[in-house]
Structure 1
Amino acid sequence: MEDLDDMKPLRDLSEAFKELAATLDSPTADVELVPFVRACSLILPLIRSLGIAFKFGEVSYAGTVNDLEKASKSVGTLQALVDGDIEATTARKDTSNTKNLLGVKRTLDVVRAMFEQILATDGDSIRGPANKAYTQVFAPYHGTAVKKAVAAGTYALPTRAQMLKKLNETDEASAAAHMQSYVTASAPVIQYIERLFLSRDIFSVISYG
């Protein structure tokens, strides 16, 4: 069992996505669902580190990942996951695997964008990076009430130092390296999911708020 002092959520997250990205070395490559779900579950410690204001986001994301984990017991790849919904004409359903995948994809993307902003910003506040990442990824799909709730929640965000402490990161240079590694490794995974949806015209038949 891993000692608490050895737990490094940022390291584990970056390594998991490097492994996923390494599987996408050809145009015909597919992503296996089991390692994908495991990698996505490693986002949860980061969401928890953002504090009580994002508890609802944590619960919602955990439920979505759990649903995909259940699907992974009978479905092998992301392509098979989406094609199964299309064949069953269930892609439009709020509880479909396809909508769950879209929600997870956007969470991966908002984390990527937030890390990019944190790495490009001086100072200890992560409110600006979080706001910019949300505006870039999620805001176009949310109504006014949700946007106001998110804006209010950002005032309760921890400082960068507090967040890193919760993530058991005492070395800022090491933490920054893990963030950059995730930014780099998650990009091809996110792009793969986008291509998967575009090739099946998924964006025209579903929306995700």
Structure 2
Amino acid sequence: MGEQPLSDPSFEVAGEATPLSAVAVAFEELARLLDDGPTDLRIAPFSDACSLVTALFGCLGFAFKFAEMEYVSKVNDLIEASKTYDTLNCILDHDLENDTVRKQGSHSRNLRRVRLGLDLIKALFEQFLSSSECSLKDAASNAYDEVCAPFHAWTIRKAVGAGMYTLPSRDQLLVRLNETDESVEKEMQKYINSCRPVIEYIDNLFLSRNISLDW
């Protein structure tokens, strides 16, 4: 792992940034840096970008409160980790040496949970954009079943299912995001495209160390 660490990208958005456009810009920058060549991803810019995603969970309301709370705590842990470790590679190597990769509260486990949160939002956006007739409830339910349900106990899955009925309508979500039909599609697609290589990078960190992803 001797590659040059990524430098901290700037997440400033020209003009007035919406919560969604700020996230899209941040992940586009991470994806661009990853695309520049083999390198180690620094924890600080990664966790900064991930912290912006919290606002998207907030716009979904009570139904995703469980995900927001877990996600925020895990991102905050990575922010703290950035004060001690430089890159994501470093925290995995440290936990691997100490046999704590899957241990509750370890940085590696928290990274895995943050990755699931990013994937959940990506899957939700993909479902949301699949059809103008797709309700947010259907999009969120399908995304949850695809990404998170396999890792949650039955009681959590049941609670999440009940909470789906409290989700805002498509129009209400646009208002909360401060987006139009046209702009929301553009910004969601930007996030989908740029988040994908970041998720793949994280998965490869585990797989390259012979750590499975089924947890």
Normalization by structure 2: what TM-score? Answer: 0.88
In percent, how many aligned pairs have the same letter? 44
- For residue 123 of structure 1, report the CA deviation from its aligned partner: 3.0
- Whole-angstrom CA distance in 1 between matches of 2:32 and 2:84: 24
Which residue is 2:188 aligned to? 179
For residues 169 and 134 of structure 2, what CA distance do their matches in structure 1 show? Answer: 6
Residue 147 of structure 2 corresponds to residue 137 of structure 1: yes
53-62 or 136-145, which deviates more: 53-62
7-16 or 50-59, larger mean C-alpha shift: 50-59
Per-residue CA deviation, residues 5-34 of structure 1 (Å, 9 max, x unaligned), is: 934010000000000001112663221111
Shift of 1:168: 1.9
Q: Is the 1:51–1:157 Cα contact (8 Å) retained in structure 2?
A: yes
RMSD: 1.9
SS in 1 for 2:35: coil
Contact 1:116 1:183 in 2 (8 A): yes
Counterpart residue identity of residue 151, structure 1: G
Letter in structure 2 aligned against 1:20: L
Mapped partners of 2:174, 2:134: distance in 1: 11
Q: Distance in 2 between matches of 1:47 and 1:88?
A: 33
Is the 2:120–2:143 Cα contact (8 Å) retained in structure 1?
Answer: yes
CA distance in structure 2 between the aligned counterparts of 1:108 and 1:141, rounded to whole angstroms: 15
Match of 2:166 among 156, 163, 175: 156
Change (3 A) 1:7 1:22: closer
Q: Following TM superposition, by how much is the alpha carbon of 1:88 offset from its aligned partner in structure 2, in angstroms?
A: 2.1
Partner of 1:195: 204
What amino acid is aligned across from residue 203 of structure 1 in structure 2?
Answer: S
Q: 2:113 aligns with which of 103, 107, 113?
A: 103
Question: How many Å separate the matches in 2 of 1:17 and 1:160?
Answer: 24
SS at 2:39 equivalent? coil
Counterpart amino acid of residue 114 in structure 1:
L
* Unaligned 5+ runs, structure 1: none
Q: Following TM superposition, by how much is the alpha carbon of 1:175 offset from its aligned partner in structure 2, in angstroms?
A: 1.3
Q: What pairs with 1:12-27 in structure 2 (closer than 5 Å)?
A: 12-25=22-35
How far apart, in 1, do the equivalents of 2:79 and 2:198 lie? 18
Does residue 1:65 correspond to 2:75, yes or no? yes
Secondary structure class of the residue paired with 1:28? coil
Give the SS at the match of 2:166: coil
The reply to whether residue 45 of structure 1 matches residue 59 of structure 2 is no
Do the aligned partners of 1:37 and 1:69 also contact (CA within 8 Å) in 2? yes
Aligned amino acid, residue 36 of structure 1: F
CA distance in 1: counterparts of 2:37 and 2:200, whole angstroms: 12
- Kindly state the Cα deviation for residue 142 of structure 1 after the two structures are TM-superposed: 1.5
Contact 1:7 1:168 survives alignment (8 Å):
no
Question: How many residue pairs end up in the alignment?
Answer: 202
Q: Which has the higher contact order (CA 8 A, sep 6+)?
A: 1
Give structure 2 stretches of 5+ with no counterpart. Answer: 1-11
Contact 2:127 2:134 in 1 (8 A): no
Instruction: Write out aligned runs for 1:65-104 (5 A).
Output: 65-104=75-114
Q: Distance in 2 between matches of 1:191 and 1:7?
A: 27
